Amino acid sequence: MEILRCENLTKVYGKGDTCVKALDNVSFSVEAGEFVSIVGPSGSGKSTLLHILGGVDKPTGGKVWIGGTDIHALNEDRMAIFRRRQIGLIYQFYNLLPVLNVEENIVLPHLLDGRTLDRQRLTQVVKSMGLEERRYNFPEQLSGGQQQRVSIGRALYNHPAILLADEPTGNLDRRTGEEIIAMMKRANRELRQTQLLITHDERIALQADRMLWIEDGRILRDERIRVIGGAQQ
């Protein structure tokens, strides 16, 4: 079953001489439960693509459907609700709120949605991210890797149907990075969570079901590595 589809996505930044075409006619579709890695050189449009798929940036042209909803046709309020309920987005540069502590940052999207706090789930996420000692600290008191783990925890807290992760392990040591990927794979297998993961690490990219190569804003290659849900332990 298809869960996500984009058609003819383009994104142009700026105007005239200084304009940059970050995405150039990108189309593909993703099946529910699929784990897709996205690779490509710096500046090739990977983050731009993920932000447009996640509804936090608008395309210049083209459409994105998630579960049949044309997300960029939603008004701002509906889009915010849709995003909070369906999509977990891990940003390349964390995007934590400086005035909130670790726990508050993790549960913020959930509370904004008017839902009650699941204290047990929060404790589980804080623990699995190795942040127990840091739960009441503010982002400026954390290392880059710790901030990254908070942003991963925030994206995982409410089991979103789709997880979009922009270099989630880029600032982590190898062991922590492997633990994060193992956690993501568990959610992929056990909850059939659909995942799109940007990475510069080939070892990580090859653990996905499918790999997309992006260059100059286009999909250069799209290769199936294994059957959907077949991600290795």
Ligand X SMILES: Nc1ncnc2c1ncn2[C@@H]1O[C@H](COP(=O)(O)OP(=O)(O)OP(=O)(O)O)[C@@H](O)[C@H]1O
Residue 166 or 209 having the CB closest to ligand X: 166
Nearest distance from C-beta of residue 152 to ligand X, angstroms? 17
| Alpha-carbon gap, residue 138 to 134, rounded angstroms | 8
Residue 153 or 217 having the CB closest to ligand X: 217
Residue 42 or 116 having the CB closest to ligand X: 42
| Alpha-carbon gap, residue 137 to 120, rounded angstroms | 19
The token pair at 164 is 């979009």
Q: Which stretch binds Mg ion (CB under 5 A): 2-10, 86-94, 105-113, 149-157?
A: 86-94
Within 56-96, where are the H helices? Answer: 76-86
* The only residue of 6, 33, 39, 48 in contact with ligand X, by rule CB under 6 A: 48
x/- site string to ligand X, residues 7 to 26, per CB under 6 A? ------xx-----x-x----
Q: What share of the chain is helix, strand, coil (3-state, %, to 5)?
A: 35, 25, 35
Please choose which of Mg ion, ligand X, none residue 151 contacts, taking the beta carbon within 5 to 8 angstroms, the exact cut-off set by kind. none
CB count in 10 Å sphere of residue 120? 8
**48: contact with Mg ion by CB under 5 A:** no
Nearest distance from C-beta of residue 38 to ligand X, angstroms? 9
| Alpha-carbon gap, residue 106 to 157, rounded angstroms | 7
Please choose which of ligand X, Mg ion, none residue 43 contacts, taking the beta carbon within 5 to 8 angstroms, the exact cut-off set by kind. ligand X
**46: contact with ligand X by CB under 6 A:** yes
**47: contact with ligand X by CB under 6 A:** yes
| Alpha-carbon gap, residue 222 to 226, rounded angstroms | 13
How many Cα neighbours within 13 Å face the side chain of 216? 1
Nearest distance from C-beta of residue 123 to ligand X, angstroms? 33
Adjacent-strand bridge partners of 11? 23
What are the distances in angstroms from CA 200 to CA 25, 54, 160? 23, 20, 24
Nearest distance from C-beta of residue 167 to Mg ion, angstroms? 7
Contacts with ligand X by CB under 6 A lie at 13-14, 20, 22, 40, 42-48, 92
